[in-house]
Structure 1
Amino acid sequence: MKSVMIRALSYIGGLLIVSFGVTLTILAGLGAGAWDALNVGLAIQTRFSVGNWVIFVGIILIGVNALLTRTKPVVHSLLTILILGYFIDFWLIIVFNDMLFSGFMLQMIILLIAIVVIAFGASIYMQAEFALIPIDGFMFAIRDVLGVKLMVAKTIAELIALVAAFIVGGPIGIGTILVTFLIGPLIQFFFPRIEKRINWKAIQ
């Protein structure tokens, strides 16, 4: 029972932290990650919120992933995108009220903090080993279909999102580059350390 509780707390708490980090990248105003830039661009073009588009794009990707891998849709990933989408709207609309940071130095500091926060939160939520974010599922699907290495598949997925974000006028900038290249190494740094801590608590 204790291990189940720890997994649930890791899952919800990690997604809450990730959503906070994503929100900060958007509010920093220097460019968000490719997928987040796509969601922001779509929100600007429509009456739906950023969190709504996190959910809509996630649902589309669940279907695309199933088609690419010729398997059943990973339905439980819906829970992940619902939680993430609503958390992002909570931070953006309720807490920060769509404010934007100004001044390059402050924006850069907020952006770097946001990237660390996203990696930290992702390292926590992945401990639950419950449901991948559909974006990650898309990366694995590309790898399996094209027979390429995971990093190549990730690059292809990010480029697809980047082109789509550019088309819809999403916020692309130096932040987009930093998010793309720093998240992975930071997750590699945080994950084993958090894993040891959570495993230690699980056996208490």
Structure 2
Amino acid sequence: MSTFLYKKRILGIGSIINTLLFGEAISFLSIFVHYENTRSTLSCFGYLVLGFIMMAFGTAIYIKGELGVGPLEGIMFCICDKFRLSVKYSRILIDFLIVFIGVVLGAPFGVGTFFAVFLLGPMIEFFLYLLDRLSGKLSIPITITDE
């Protein structure tokens, strides 16, 4: 709601899809992910890192698609504009506040939570930068001439 009031131009069909279907997609896909007690700590850590890389890269892709952003990314961009912060610092601030409220309400805190707070924002910013660089290098300038 705050994004709608502050920065309407970043809302679009992607915002609606993200808001309505993101949680449902996670619930559906969680059926296929089974935790086994036989996994080593190293493999679990590997899955954790891979998951965060995929999440940050996916977030950067759909932001660059310019079809609208989800609620968290909308708030992130509002904070970027309002306080003149980079994407990484505004996302760290948002994630920290969310985790702080969760912990105060009794939620557990672990390594994944730490990653979410301190690494997701910098990773999203890195992938946004990378996509900008790739799109700049791969695009062919088109000139229109009158003949």
For the aligned pair, the TM-score class normalised by the smaller chain equals 0.5 to 0.7
Report the CA distance shift for 1:190/1:122 in structure 2 as closer, same or farther (over 3 A). Answer: farther
Larger Cα Rg: Structure 1 or Structure 2? 2
Which residue number in structure 1 is paired with residue 3 of structure 2?
Answer: 65
* Structure 1 residue identity aligned to 2:47: I
- C-alpha distance after superposition, 1:41-89 (max 9, x if no partner): xxxxxxxxxxxxxxxxxxxxxx13335x286994641222223222111
**Contact 1:65–1:137 (CA under 8 A) maintained in structure 2:** yes
Give, in whole Å, the separation in 1 of the partners of 2:59 and 2:138: 14
Which residue number in structure 1 is paired with residue 58 of structure 2?
Answer: 121
Report the CA distance shift for 1:171/1:190 in structure 2 as closer, same or farther (over 3 A). Answer: farther
Report the CA distance shift for 1:144/1:191 in structure 2 as closer, same or farther (over 3 A). Answer: closer
Count of residue pairs the alignment pairs up: 133
**Contact 2:11–2:67 (CA under 8 A) maintained in structure 1:** no
Report the CA distance shift for 1:111/1:132 in structure 2 as closer, same or farther (over 3 A). Answer: same
Instruction: Single out whichever of 80-89 and 128-137 deviates more from structure 2.
Output: 80-89
Which residue number in structure 1 is paired with residue 46 of structure 2?
Answer: 109
Q: CA deviation at 1:194?
A: 6.1
Give, in whole Å, the separation in 2 of the partners of 1:101 and 1:199: 45
Which residue number in structure 1 is paired with residue 131 of structure 2?
Answer: 191
Report the CA distance shift for 1:127/1:156 in structure 2 as closer, same or farther (over 3 A). Answer: closer
* Structure 2 residue identity aligned to 1:164: I
Report the CA distance shift for 1:183/1:176 in structure 2 as closer, same or farther (over 3 A). Answer: farther
Instruction: Identify which of 25, 35, 39 aligns with 1:100.
Output: 35
Give, in whole Å, the separation in 2 of the partners of 1:89 and 1:162: 21
Give, in whole Å, the separation in 2 of the partners of 1:119 and 1:112: 11
Give, in whole Å, the separation in 2 of the partners of 1:173 and 1:131: 31
Q: 5+ residue gaps in structure 2?
A: 141-147
Q: Secondary structure at 2:69's aligned position in 1?
A: coil
Answer yes or no: is 1:78 the counterpart of 2:13: no
Q: CA deviation at 1:125?
A: 2.4
Report the CA distance shift for 1:177/1:65 in structure 2 as closer, same or farther (over 3 A). Answer: same
Which residue number in structure 1 is paired with residue 85 of structure 2?
Answer: 149
**Contact 1:119–1:190 (CA under 8 A) maintained in structure 2:** no
Q: CA deviation at 1:126?
A: 3.0
Answer yes or no: is 1:136 the counterpart of 2:73: yes
Greater percentage in helix: 1
TM-score (ref. length: structure 2):
0.67
Aligned-pair RMSD on alpha carbons?
3.3
- Written as runs of structure 1 = structure 2, the 5 A alignment for 1:155-174 is 155-174=92-111
